Structure 1
Amino acid sequence: MKQVTLTATTAFGLEAVVGRELAQLGYPEQQKADGRVNFHADLSAIPRCNLHLRVANRLLLKIGEFPAPDFDAYFDGIRDLPWEEWIPADARFPVTGSSQKSQLHSVPACQGMAKKAIAQRLERVYDRTLPETGILCPVHFDLRHDTCSLYLNTSGDGLHKRGYREQAGEAPLRETLAAALLQLSVWNRERPLIDPFCGSGTIAIEAALIARNRASGLLRGFASEKWPAIPAELWLQHRSEAIAGINHGDCEPILASDIDPRVLRTARDNAKRAGVDDIIHFQQQDVASLSTKRKYGCLVTNPPYGQRLNDVQQAQELWTTLARVTQDWSTWSQFILVGSREFERFYGRKATRRRKLYNGTLECTYYQFLGDKPPAMDRTEPRPVS
């Protein structure tokens, strides 16, 4: 089977999490850089990774790399790559890209030139004009330090678009980040989970998908699913294997609450579309009423942190309330993502560890408060990724 070079892109700070996911999928040999994890594999990795990666943003197929100190080198380098191996004569191939610390810093200019270079190559190979009415083959260039890397985007839409969320709350947490928060915690399906600020339910739903071993991409399609260069039977095989791997057994409770009944309705609808509404208990509840008799669970949440002064003050009051109602939960571990460096002051305790993450473009801190370990903790229990 054809060997390829692939790149799983990710938010800054989550490279190790994506690396661990790839290793679990059978790709332990990796090269990590800021916002990306590179690896070599055969074609089967394209359906497998698109279906199963929970934290990566997209999966890119590398077409080539070359020095690009000026527009002539850039144009010639792109034109000389074997695009016809992947892009059919009638395919649509929009171009996106980025430039960092390179002489060619105008992304729009580079987009236009890349499009022209690829078209020139394909028109010569196919001996025809390009109608661009067929399947989608998105092209992406990455200019760094005057070196250009060219890719095809095998995912199409970002992998955070799972297919279950038609509506979101006012400040939605991306599905990929929610999955990362869970994987950076000590939670597993053998421990209860609580999200007291669940909003549209993303953390709880992602937890339920993990508990069920349900592939995150089962409800959606991918750009490369229609590419002739990737046998359709590969996609059918990996979709069938993903469905067969779903675990319908019992797991510890997943509890999601919010004070707003409107977002709870949205959360329930999202969970139903995701196929996990039967294992999430949604409840309308003020955080001041939060309680549990269970032990050794995990609280994973993204509470309000506000941008305007009044919102900030209200958020700080919520943090203080959460600290008060959980102060005796010594067996529980708490993992809280907040866009404030003052959180610990209002929470009244110091985190076991902190991690800088990004919710979109907003820099946040993931505060991790580790509770007591279960008396007979399984040696395989996950620990936070370092």
Structure 2
Amino acid sequence: MSKLNNIELIATSTFGLEAVVGEEVRELGYTDVRVENGKVTFRSDLSAIPRANLWLRSADRIRLKVGEFQARTFDELFEQTKKLPWSDWLPKNACFPVDGRSVKSTLFSVSDCQAIVKKAIVDHMQGTYNQSWFEEDGPLYRIEVALLKDVATLTIDTSGVALHKRGYRGLIGGAPLKETMAAALIRLSRWNPDTTLIDPFCGSGTIPIEAALIGQNVAPGMNREFASEHWPVIPKELWRQARMETHDLANYDRPLEIIGTDIDDEVLKVARLNAEEAMVNDAIHFQRMDVSQVRSSKKYGKIICNPPYGERLGEQQEIERMYQKMGDVFQALDTWSFYVLTSNENFERIIGKKASRKRKLFNGNLKVDYYQFFGPRPPRPNREGERRSGRVLSETAK
């Protein structure tokens, strides 16, 4: 078991959000952290598997790194894979499908690499368990062989269903924003729960709901299951402790001012149902309203939104008129900060204002920009409020 007290985990990330995921990992109390393209790697003991799955808001998956080596031939791939400590993790009844990908590597046939890795693992397990056939009717261990520039990385997915599936969004509107992306947009805005937040294009409510979860320090994975919960190698007590931590640190009574508006009554019904499922409906006010009507008596606040992009032919003029209305709102709320995700490269010109900062991201496969317009700095919130603004306290890290 001593080997399992120093494991390497990979939190996979959407392109452009790696630094956000890295920050979240460090806030969980882990210090041996490397931020790379599409992933954040960190070391810890077994307790990090449940904690990372339960708490990370912007990561896509948590993968366990089993090994990494150079492989330019199928023989090298087979022999090096076979040497890895698979039996430390996989019981004899493990269900272990193999996925694969290859980028700029000599071994470019993904299907062949998958087959070879599968055979190598079976050979390893035959030697360990002294049996020739495995039923694979037990817990799921989805393995990935990823080849990049002839370096093979072998991992096991600990999450199961992707982390953006929080469990609250049974009903969705059109073109929904992933929950992980919504959480990242909020974190990039540096919103804190003492500040009013408005999403004037809230759709099915993802941004307001994720903000409420952050504001009340509710772990995003609290109400779902993970593949690794069923792994015998991880003591049930670690999962019990990790889930108890999520309940101990949640602050459901924290008052928040989060407003979601939209012009579609039907989609607002969906948003209210989703918020109720996430148990944050009391923290969010949903209202039917055109973006041109958005106003606030509060001197400071943040607007965070993912407005329609108008990708279809013939929609562009309508979208531009909508963006112009947004520009009028910006002028009316001139002490607020605004954060807008859009694929429209002319957004600044249309609204007549240059962004303070622009960040390139991907919403699914679509290249988008996150336009950030900074208002004047509001008075500093009290330290206790800031301390509890969606962050796990580092002293809870194992």
* TM-score bracket relative to the smaller structure: over 0.9
Which residue of structure 2 lines up, in the alignment, with residue 14 of structure 1? 17
Deviation of 1:15 after TM superposition, in Å, equals 1.0
Counterpart of 2:347, as a letter, is F
Worse-matched range after superposition: 301-310 or 106-115 = 106-115
Counterpart of 2:152 (choices 148, 154, 159) is 148
Alignment of 1:16-31 (within 5 A): 16-31=19-34
Distance in 1 between residues matched to 2:323 and 2:233, nearest whole Å: 52
Structure 1 residue 32 corresponds to structure 2 residue 32: no
Counterpart of 2:121, as a letter, is I
Which residue of structure 1 lines up, in the alignment, with residue 264 of structure 2? 260
Which residue of structure 1 lines up, in the alignment, with residue 368 of structure 2? 364
Structure 1 residue 74 corresponds to structure 2 residue 77: yes
Counterpart of 1:221 (choices 221, 225, 228) is 225
Distance in 2 between residues matched to 1:82 and 1:373, nearest whole Å: 53
Distance in 2 between residues matched to 1:91 and 1:267, nearest whole Å: 39
Unaligned segments of structure 1, at least 5 residues: none
Secondary structure in structure 2 of the residue aligned to 1:131: coil
Deviation of 1:377 after TM superposition, in Å, equals 5.4
Counterpart of 1:194 (choices 190, 195, 198) is 198
Unaligned segments of structure 2, at least 5 residues: 388-398
Secondary structure in structure 1 of the residue aligned to 2:324: helix
Deviation of 1:381 after TM superposition, in Å, equals 6.4
Deviation of 1:191 after TM superposition, in Å, equals 0.1
Which residue of structure 1 lines up, in the alignment, with residue 243 of structure 2? 239
Deviation of 1:328 after TM superposition, in Å, equals 2.1
Alignment of 1:369-380 (within 5 A): 369-376=373-380
Distance in 1 between residues matched to 2:145 and 2:212, nearest whole Å: 36
Which residue of structure 1 lines up, in the alignment, with residue 346 of structure 2? 342
Equivalent residues of 1:195, 1:256 under 8 A apart:
yes
Distance in 2 between residues matched to 1:114 and 1:207, nearest whole Å: 42
Worse-matched range after superposition: 299-308 or 26-35 = 26-35
Equivalent residues of 1:69, 1:103 under 8 A apart:
yes
Counterpart of 1:358, as a letter, is F
Equivalent residues of 1:142, 1:149 under 8 A apart:
yes
**1:24-45 deviation digits (Å, cap 9, x = unpaired):** 1011221121001111111111
Counterpart of 1:294, as a letter, is K
Counterpart of 1:308, as a letter, is R
Distance in 2 between residues matched to 1:376 and 1:120, nearest whole Å: 61
Equivalent residues of 2:295, 2:333 under 8 A apart:
no
Secondary structure in structure 2 of the residue aligned to 1:330: coil
Which residue of structure 2 lines up, in the alignment, with residue 93 of structure 1? 96
Deviation of 1:312 after TM superposition, in Å, equals 2.4
Secondary structure in structure 1 of the residue aligned to 2:299: coil
Equivalent residues of 1:4, 1:43 under 8 A apart:
yes
Worse-matched range after superposition: 282-291 or 369-378 = 369-378
Secondary structure in structure 2 of the residue aligned to 1:357: strand
How well do the aligned residues superpose, as a CA RMSD in angstroms? 1.5
Secondary structure in structure 1 of the residue aligned to 2:57: coil
Which residue of structure 1 lines up, in the alignment, with residue 163 of structure 2? 159
Secondary structure in structure 2 of the residue aligned to 1:326: helix
Which residue of structure 2 lines up, in the alignment, with residue 298 of structure 1? 302
Sequence identity, in percent?
49
Counterpart of 1:322, as a letter, is M
Secondary structure in structure 1 of the residue aligned to 2:8: strand
Runs of 4+ displaced beyond 3 Å: 375-382
Which residue of structure 2 lines up, in the alignment, with residue 284 of structure 1? 288
Deviation of 1:251 after TM superposition, in Å, equals 2.8
TM-score (structure 2 length as normaliser): 0.93
Worse-matched range after superposition: 190-199 or 20-29 = 20-29
**1:169-213 deviation digits (Å, cap 9, x = unpaired):** 110100000000000003110000000000110000000000110
Which residue of structure 2 lines up, in the alignment, with residue 110 of structure 1? 113
Deviation of 1:57 after TM superposition, in Å, equals 0.6
Which residue of structure 2 lines up, in the alignment, with residue 134 of structure 1? 138
Counterpart of 1:48, as a letter, is R
Distance 1:309 1:202, change over 3 A: same
Distance in 2 between residues matched to 1:46 and 1:240, nearest whole Å: 15
Equivalent residues of 2:192, 2:215 under 8 A apart:
yes
Distance in 2 between residues matched to 1:375 and 1:136, nearest whole Å: 50
Deviation of 1:23 after TM superposition, in Å, equals 0.7
Counterpart of 2:145, as a letter, is F
Distance in 2 between residues matched to 1:104 and 1:117, nearest whole Å: 16
